[in-house]
Amino acid sequence: MKNQRSVKEITYHFGGKVVIVTGSARGIGRVMVKGFVEAGAQVVAADRDMEGLEKTCEPYGDKVAAVISDISNPSDANKIVDLAMDRFNGLDVCVNNAAVAPHTALLEERFEVWDKVYASNCRGTFLMTQAAAKAMIKQSRAGRIINFSSGVSQRGSPGTAAYASSRAAIESFSRVAAIELAPYNILVNTVSPGLIDTQPKPLPKNMAMNLKARIPTLPLARPGEPEEVANVVLFLASSASSYITGAVIVVDGGSGIGIRLTNSVVDDDPRYFWVTGKSCSS
Ligand SMILES: NC(=O)c1ccc[n+]([C@@H]2O[C@H](COP(=O)([O-])OP(=O)(O)OC[C@H]3O[C@@H](n4cnc5c(N)ncnc54)[C@H](O)[C@@H]3O)[C@@H](O)[C@H]2O)c1
């Protein structure tokens, strides 16, 4: 079968646009920085991990400005937006990708960890959305804000009480932001990935065991690639999505709708023989 993932029919043009990507020291964030730079944008790449951030930015020279920052801290959120304004003279797109997802059993959850998850995942997205929107409004330029959720926001997944609920909060927050910022031509959408291949390599033992059991049950029987999420973010940042706001775009290979079909569909329920025309002998 042809690998659909390697086919690139769409080329985006972000020349003259300024984009912030938070959480860009690894994973989906790193790939989004690459995608935006290759499409001609100037990018502010933000993360609290200096080493990873340097690795992300190194190939792109002055097209990318890196900023070590913790988005849960109000002055750092402002610092990220100020850097876009000062270095690149504007801000068009803010991608609030940074988040943490530690897993803990509910009965062992500690409020200190819970608060840290919410500080990064909720307060951070709020602070970045507010700072970015204020800058966009001040410069009278239409804008895009793209927030991140997760498939676990919609289903019960053990160990994710803090993470899953913090991601669900972002969907709700983004709907409010979309309504309040629409008069300024700022569109706010949320991307909700399923399982994406960003986990540390080699995989920690427990994570390896869980993924080995889970991956065959995914409708496409594979994790998504970070590029497959970045593609959707580029679309949401582009003029092609000019009538989409307040939406949650799911990028999960179907994992939110069901599990992979592993045997053929056979209806041998005798209650419906009168419907299907089957009989006990067929
Ligand atoms: N990978 C998946 O399977 C998956 C599934 C569903 C949703 N998501 C969502 O996609 C996004 C990216 O996921 P990923 O797997 O690439 O994540 P990742 O853990 O690989 O990378 C996240 C980056 O964000 C940074 N970060 C976290 N908190 C920060 C803070 N307070 N300030 C600054 N930087 C901070 C980290 O240092 C890290 O570099 C997240 O919002 C996540 O919730 C991922």
Predicted confidence (pLDDT) per residue in 4-41, tens digit: 555 578 999 999 999 999 999 999 999 999 999 999 99
Closest C-alpha residue for ligand 1 atom 30: 70
Residue 212 has pLDDT above 90, yes or no: yes
Ligand 1 geometric centre to CA of 262 (Å): 32
The DSSP letter of residue 267 is -
CA angle 135, 144, 197 (to 5 degrees): 120
Both tokens assigned to 183 = 């008069």
Catalytically annotated residues: 163
125 lines ligand 1 (CB under 6 A): no
47 lines ligand 1 (CB under 6 A): yes
253 lines ligand 1 (CB under 6 A): no
Ligand 1 geometric centre to CA of 1 (Å): 31
Closest C-alpha residue for ligand 1 atom 23: 23
- End-to-end C-alpha distance for the chain, whole angstroms: 34
Q: What is the pLDDT of residue 8?
A: 72
Q: What is the pLDDT of residue 100?
A: 98
Atom of ligand 1 nearest to the CA of 49: 37
Residue 220 has pLDDT above 70, yes or no: yes
CA angle 254, 255, 256 (to 5 degrees): 90
Q: Whose structure tokens read 């008069």? A: 183
148 lines ligand 1 (CB under 6 A): yes
Closest C-alpha residue for ligand 1 atom 24: 23
Residue in 26, 96, 103, 174 to alter for ligand 1 test, most ligand atoms within 8 A of Cβ: 26
Q: Residue 210: what are its φ and ψ, rounded to 5°?
A: -65, -40
188 lines ligand 1 (CB under 6 A): no
98 lines ligand 1 (CB under 6 A): yes
196 lines ligand 1 (CB under 6 A): yes
Residue in 33, 47, 153 to alter for ligand 1 test, most ligand atoms within 8 A of Cβ: 47
Band (280; pLDDT cuts 50, 70, 90): confident
Q: In what order do the strands lie in the sheet with 248-251?
A: 64-68, 42-47, 18-22, 93-96, 143-148, 186-193, 248-251
Q: How far is CA 51 from the centre of its chain?
A: 22
Residue 222 has pLDDT above 60, yes or no: yes
Band (2; pLDDT cuts 50, 70, 90): very low
Predicted confidence (pLDDT) per residue in 144-174, tens digit: 999 999 999 999 999 999 999 999 999 999 9
Average pLDDT, rounded, for the chain: 96
Q: What is the pLDDT of residue 7?
A: 57
Identify whether the C-beta of residue 231 lies closer than 8 Å to the C-beta of residue 191.
Answer: no
30 lines ligand 1 (CB under 6 A): no
Ligand 1 geometric centre to CA of 282 (Å): 53
Ligand 1 geometric centre to CA of 279 (Å): 54
